Structure 1
Amino acid sequence: MVLFTGKTVEEAIDDGLRQMGLSRMKAHIQVISRGKKGFLGFGRKLARVEIKNISDNTIHKEDRQAIHEVPDTINEQNHSAASMVEETKEQVPDQHPSLQDGSDQDSKQLKEQSEKSTGNNKEAAEQTFEEFVANEFDTVDDGKDIALASEDVSKYVQTIIYEMDLEASIETTYTHRQMNLQIETPDAGRVIGYHGKVLKSLQLLAQNFLHDHYSKYFTVSLNVHDYMEHRTETLIDFAHKTAARVLESGRPFFMDPMSNNERKVVHKAISAIAGVESYSEGDDPNRYVVIAVKK
């Protein structure tokens, strides 16, 4: 275990890997502290990272769990698989000594085992990604699974925010299939972005991560302070004003593209107004709402 420093986390990591002669795949990297720029030369702090060689037998279970921030069960499977490969390599000369003598019988047996293994691998390779996700993740849909998914998604979003050089805390709540991430940060504007574009991108990344690693039936919602509440109020108010304009002019109004949740807010607001209707057109992420006079 060695500590390395740099102006940024990435600089400290690159310096440490270079000095230790390791690649990222063979290193366990833990960020101890992130660098601070300071003000007018005061309060500046270097970033510090801890780097360990993954092949080092002194890495403990909790350290292996932190590698790439994946669940402990997956790390255990990876280490077990690696151990089995090494054991197999050591046992081959002892289990098949006749191979060195040109034994046809052992060669035939080994070939049959290899062909069987190749067939199994081919069958697995032909399995689509959707089938893999359905088989591996969609069969489990209980409170324990959504709790684990919420924790991993929260860590994933937290990592992205740190890479944006922002300080933030995330409070996670969840129901049976829905998880909500409440982000608190002094730089709310940077996390939200113009018209919420950054927050929408974070939402999409979190949703993709969730579906790739857990059930496609789980959903995640991100909020910064009370932005989503204000955004909902703004959409409802705009929908009412647009409906009045459509009724007066008789011409349909085409709204800007928006997310599925935002379109639902507009549809619900328009459904309560007599004389107008709303429907969606286009394809995501450019799908938009049309408000028109009800026929």
Structure 2
Amino acid sequence: MIQDNAMEDKKTTLEVIGPSVEDAIESGLDQLGLPRDAVDVEVLDQGQSGFLGIGNRQVRVRLTLINHEAEEEKAAPVQEKVAQTDFEDPDDLDDLEIAKRKAKDIVEHLLESMRIQAGVAARILEPEDDRDHPMVLIEVTGKDLSILIGRRAETLNSLQYITSLVLNQQVGHWVPLMIDVQGYRFRRERQLRQLARRLADQVIQTGRKQVLEPMPANERRLIHLELRYHPFVTTESVGEEPNRRTTIILKPKE
């Protein structure tokens, strides 16, 4: 659960609560769609166990985006260009609409600097339920854009990370953002959700847990989302980046 967002010394921070430090960190990384080495972690509250489980106080952690020098160098000229972009009167636009337009401009400037010709569109994705948040989606289309995706989407994830870094500094707070190239993200999402349902059925039939291959945080998040309200199984992430995996297990009997 996100508690609030803030900017400190131009670093984007996200505060998250959870039943344990690891659970809170994992929740924050899933929401940001970032690997563990992209953030600094500060434990704000270790929590407290109540008597017989009553009155428990949850752990609170703060995740701060690390502004790596390489990303900063790439982002600086784009940041300057976007800062000079004229928008309509902010009073006529809500924060998310402003973020959407800025994100589109950032991606267009990045593609221009990479000498890649492509169309860029932006829209807002509504949350799946009241535990999620609206997300800015940037869709990039064109001919032969596989270079923007890269092996295991490494290039696409880097593009998304740099865009997030610039956007967060421009608007002054964290904004949920996803960049898709030629529908790659949605094809991958459909595959992962189908995989999650199929493995959940296997767990129910065999009683044995299923461990998925290592995935980036944004893809692990899809597995968690798909099985969030499943009546018989639950999910957890185990291991260290870049080999962190999602595990599907039976829910304990009540």
Q: TM-score range by the shorter chain?
A: 0.5 to 0.7
Residues 230, 70 of structure 1: CA spacing in aligned structure 2 closer, same or farther, 3 A cutoff?
closer
Secondary structure of 1:182's counterpart equals: strand
Is 1:202–2:159 an aligned residue pair? yes
User: Which of 81, 95, 104 matches 1:69?
Assistant: 81
User: Which of 89, 93, 96 matches 1:143?
Assistant: 93
Provide the residue aligned with 1:218 in structure 2.
Answer: 175
Provide the residue aligned with 2:107 in structure 1.
Answer: 157
Distance in 1 (CA, whole Å) between partners of 2:225 and 2:136 is: 23
Structure 1 residue 266: Cα displacement = 1.3
Provide the residue aligned with 1:255 in structure 2.
Answer: 212
Deviations 1:220-270 (A, max 9, x none): 221223222211210111112322333454432322343444333312333
Structure 1 residue 184: Cα displacement = 0.7
Residues 173, 240 of structure 1: CA spacing in aligned structure 2 closer, same or farther, 3 A cutoff?
closer
Secondary structure of 2:167's counterpart equals: helix
Structure 1 residue 278: Cα displacement = 1.0
Higher relative CO (Cα under 8 Å, sequence separation at least 6) belongs to 2
Residues 227, 73 of structure 1: CA spacing in aligned structure 2 closer, same or farther, 3 A cutoff?
closer
Matches within 5 A, 1:275-294: 275-282=232-239, 287-294=244-251
Residues 282, 186 of structure 1: CA spacing in aligned structure 2 closer, same or farther, 3 A cutoff?
same
Q: Between Structure 1 and Structure 2, which shows a larger proportion of helix residues?
A: 1
Paired residues of 1:203 and 1:222 also in contact (CA < 8 A): yes
Distance in 1 (CA, whole Å) between partners of 2:79 and 2:235 is: 49
In the alignment, residue 71 of structure 1 is paired with which amino acid?
A: A
Paired residues of 2:79 and 2:106 also in contact (CA < 8 A): no
5+ unaligned residues in a row in structure 2: which ranges?
1-77, 126-132
Is 1:180–2:137 an aligned residue pair? yes
Deviates more, 1:194-203 or 1:270-279: 270-279
Residues 203, 73 of structure 1: CA spacing in aligned structure 2 closer, same or farther, 3 A cutoff?
closer
Residues 172, 73 of structure 1: CA spacing in aligned structure 2 closer, same or farther, 3 A cutoff?
closer
Paired residues of 1:183 and 1:225 also in contact (CA < 8 A): yes
Q: How large is the RMSD of aligned CA atoms in angstroms? A: 3.5
Residues 182, 288 of structure 1: CA spacing in aligned structure 2 closer, same or farther, 3 A cutoff?
same
Report how many residues are paired.
165
Distance in 1 (CA, whole Å) between partners of 2:79 and 2:222 is: 41
Paired residues of 1:246 and 1:253 also in contact (CA < 8 A): yes
Structure 1 residue 181: Cα displacement = 1.0
In the alignment, residue 69 of structure 1 is paired with which amino acid?
A: K
Distance in 1 (CA, whole Å) between partners of 2:216 and 2:106 is: 21
Aligned residues with identical type, % of pairs: 25
Provide the residue aligned with 1:105 in structure 2.
Answer: none
Residues 207, 263 of structure 1: CA spacing in aligned structure 2 closer, same or farther, 3 A cutoff?
same
Distance in 2 (CA, whole Å) between partners of 1:263 and 1:141 is: 37
Distance in 1 (CA, whole Å) between partners of 2:188 and 2:205 is: 26
